[in-house]
Amino acid sequence: MPTFSALTTLPGQDAAEALAEALESLTPEPSGVGVFEIEDGSGLWEVGAYFLEPPDRTILLLLSTAFGANPFVLSEIPEIDWVAKVRRDLAPVEAGRFWLYGSHDAATVPQGVIPLQIEATVAFGTGHHGTTLGCLRAVDRLAQGGMVARNVADIGSGTGVLAMAAARLWPEAAVIASDIDEVAVEVALANAEINALADRVPCVEAAGFDHPELAARAPYDLIFANILKGPLIELAPAMAAHAAPGGILILSGLLVTQAADVTAAYVAAGFTLTAREDIGDWATLVLTRS
């Protein structure tokens, strides 16, 4: 059975949340409503609603006008097994020496790479996005440059790919992953099992470093955080508190236009920018605790 989406954008969080609340009272009632900040510095917010039957276009137009939003864009979403489709469509990814692939490409893994099997799921991090790709390239360059990490944390781990990459690079390292989302934690643990790393890469549910095991393992000489601009800036003091002297951060999840703000927050927290790579619209930062 197809579903229907209605999407719009408008300035301001308060107005976006008010519009979302109004959408929830519609008939037919939406099956879900979401509000998201568009992380491009525009100040715009996206409001989306999903319906099991076609919504009333006139009412949606009235709502968009009343709340100062752009007209809703209505779409019919066909009934598709999206996970199966993504698995078919995603080709393996080469990131430095890493080779990321799904189970459907297991027979094509070349010799001489560091293989990681990552299944397409609801969690972020298959390696196709510029942020994950940038983090993998960055950690591979560090390893090839002689770095030996002994204590690693992956904050906001998604599929767990960065934590597993560190575990593969440094077999003696202690590695821990965390994510704020329970489903992502389950996905990371499943991927660790698939890659025979379950005993090396535990994953805990936590916001930032707010977990006893994360605190107990600190300080870290390498920390990944592939999240978003806002949480990255908020975490800067906690990163400084949990990083060892000389410890390295690999940060992404931010647009090229946001890199300066994130860098400034971390310089203020006692870090020095040592490398940066831009892939398309996305930036990856490498910083060292001074």
CATH number at residue 43: 3.30.70.260
CA 2 – CA 51 distance, rounded (Å): 9
Residues 209 and 71 in one domain: no
CA 58 – CA 72 distance, rounded (Å): 10
Residues 193 and 131 in one domain: yes
Mean of per-residue pLDDT scores for the chain: 90
The answer to whether residue 256 sits within a structural domain is yes
Question: DSSP string spanning the chain?
Answer: --EEEEEEEEE-HHHHHHHHHHHTT-SSPPSEEEEEE-TTSS-EEEEEEEESS---HHHHHHHHHHTTPPPPEEEEE----HHHHHHHHPPPEEETTEEEE-GGGGGGPPTTSEEEE----SSS-SS-SHHHHHHHHHHHHHHHTT---SEEEEET-TTSHHHHHHHHH-TT-EEEEEESSHHHHHHHHHHHHHTT-TTT--EEE-STT-SHHHHHH--EEEEEEES-HHHHHHHHHHHHHHEEEEEEEEEEEEEGGGHHHHHHHHHHTTEEEEEEEEETTEEEEEEEE-
**Tens-place pLDDT, residues 55-65:** 999 999 999 99
**pLDDT above 70 covers what percent of the chain?**
93
pLDDT value of residue 39: 72
**Tens-place pLDDT, residues 248-285:** 999 999 999 999 999 999 999 999 999 999 998 899 99
The answer to whether residue 118 sits within a structural domain is no
Residues 43 and 149 in one domain: no
Residues 145 and 278 in one domain: yes
Residues 132 and 276 in one domain: yes
User: Which of 266, 114, 140, 287 minimizes the C-alpha distance to 195?
Assistant: 114
Residues 46 and 165 in one domain: no
pLDDT value of residue 122: 47
Q: Is 186:194 a contact under the CB 8 Å cutoff?
A: no
Residues 194 and 60 in one domain: no
Residues 59 and 131 in one domain: no
The answer to whether residue 201 sits within a structural domain is yes
Q: Which of 15, 50, 77 is the last residue of a domain?
A: 77
Q: Is 221:176 a contact under the CB 8 Å cutoff?
A: no
The answer to whether residue 184 sits within a structural domain is yes
Residues 43 and 140 in one domain: no
User: Which band of pLDDT confidence, cut at 50, 70 and 90, is reported for residue 81?
Assistant: low
User: Which band of pLDDT confidence, cut at 50, 70 and 90, is reported for residue 88?
Assistant: low
Q: Is 135:203 a contact under the CB 8 Å cutoff?
A: no
Mean pLDDT of 138-160: 96
Which amino acid appears at position 151 of this protein? N
The answer to whether residue 119 sits within a structural domain is no
Residues 279 and 212 in one domain: yes
Q: Which of 39, 58, 77 is the last residue of a domain?
A: 77
Reported residue count of the chain is: 290
pLDDT-wise least confident of 71-80, 116-125, 155-164: 116-125
User: Which band of pLDDT confidence, cut at 50, 70 and 90, is reported for residue 82?
Assistant: low
pLDDT value of residue 24: 92
**Tens-place pLDDT, residues 199-241:** 999 999 999 999 999 999 999 999 999 998 999 999 999 999 9
Q: How many domains does the chain have?
A: 2
**Tens-place pLDDT, residues 124-133:** 555 567 899 9
Q: Which of 77, 111, 142 is the last residue of a domain?
A: 77
Q: Which of 39-43, 99-103, 155-159 has the highest mean pLDDT?
A: 155-159
Residues 22 and 161 in one domain: no
Mean pLDDT of 18-29: 92
CA 276 – CA 229 distance, rounded (Å): 15
pLDDT-wise least confident of 37-41, 150-154, 233-237, 272-276: 37-41
The answer to whether residue 106 sits within a structural domain is no
Residues 66 and 155 in one domain: no
**Tens-place pLDDT, residues 104-126:** 777 788 899 998 988 755 445 55
The answer to whether residue 90 sits within a structural domain is no
Q: Range of 73's domain?
A: 3-77
Task: Judge whether residue 40 has pLDDT over 80.
Answer: no
Whichever domain contains 245, its CATH number is 3.40.50.150
The answer to whether residue 102 sits within a structural domain is no
